[in-house]
Chains A and B, each alone.
Chain A
Amino acid sequence: SQWGEENLQALSIQEGEDVTMNCSYKTYTTVVHWYRQDSGRGPALIILIRSNEREKRSGRLRATLDTSSQSSSLSITAAQCEDTAVYFCATENYNQGKLIFGQGTKLSIKP
C-alpha cells in the first residue's frame, strides 16, 4: 500500500500477469485520482474514480474505491512491458484542485 510515511513501494511481475496496487488515504476526499509517471516525465492521469463509484474500468485498468475504509486500488490486467512506471494515487481536497499524492508504487514488468 502507499501513503503516509511508507517508502516508495516496488513491485516486479512477469509480462502477462495481473497486478493490484493499493492506496489508503487519511483525509476526506470525493475522488481518487490514479496517475502514472514515466521516467523523466511528469505524472499523467490514467483513471479517476468518484466517491459515488465503487469501481471504474478503462481498458486493462480497474480502479476501486471504498470510502468507508478510505482505500482505493488499481489493478492492471495482463500487464505489458509498457506498463512499467511509478503509479500514484491522489486525493483532491474539497474540489480545490489541490492533489495530495501517496508515496507511489514502482511497477516493473519483466518480459
Chain B
Amino acid sequence: DPKIIQKPKYLVAVTGSEKILICEQYLGHNAMYWYRQSAKKPLEFMFSYSYQKLMDNQTASSRFQPQSSKKNHLDLQITALKPDDSATYFCASSQERGQGRHTEVFFGKGTRLTVV
C-alpha cells in the first residue's frame, strides 16, 4: 500500500486557473516536502515543513503556496497557472528534518500537471 498518497495522479489545467495538489503521508513522519520535476530541470526542491511549520522555501514565486491542515497533510496550491508550471510534483516526507542526522526521504508517486 502506498504510504504517501498524492491526488490526483494527472491534472490538466487552463492557463490562469488555480489548482490544489493533495498529499497525505501515513509514515508517521514529522517533516514533509514538495519537489518538482520537469523535462528541462532535474528534481528541484520547493518547500520543507517540519511539525506543520514552513522551514525552507526555494520557490521564487508566491503563486505556490503549501497548506498544512494536519500533521500528515501538505497540500500545494498553485494560482495563476502558466504553461511553464507543467511538471510532475512530488510530495515527500522524512522522520525528522535534519537535526544532525541523515534520514531517508520517501517520495510519493507524484501528480503530473499539464497547463494548457
Contacts and interface: CB of A to CB of B under 8 A. Distances in A.
Decide whether A and B assemble into one complex. yes
B102 A50 contact: yes
Interface stretch (A39-47, A54-62, A63-71, A73-81): A39-47
Contact of A42 (B48, B94, B100, B108): B108
Interface residues of B, number: 31
Contacts of A109: none
B58 A98 contact: yes
Contact of A95 (B45, B101, B108, B109): B101
Given A31-B102, A95-B102, A97-B31, A88 B109 contact: no
Interface string B24-49: 00000001010100000011110010
Q: Which of A33, A41, A88, A98 is most buried by chain B, counting CB atoms within 10 A of its CB?
A: A98
B109 A41 contact: yes
Question: Interface extent on A, as a size class?
Answer: 20 to 34
Interface string A85-111: 000101010111111111110000000
Contacts of A30: 102
Interface string B80-104: 0000000000101010111111111
Contacts of A98: 33, 45, 48, 56, 58
B42 A42 contact: no
Contacts of A96: 48, 55-56, 97-98
A97 B101 contact: no
A13 interface: no
A50 B103 CA distance: 11
A19 interface: no
Interface of B: 4, 31, 33, 35, 42-45, 48, 50, 55-56, 58, 90, 92, 94, 96-110
Given A42-B92, A42-B109, A97-B33, 11 more contacts: A42-B108, A43-B107, A44-B107, A48-B102, A96-B55, A97-B56, A97-B105, A98-B48, A98-B56, A99-B35, A99-B45
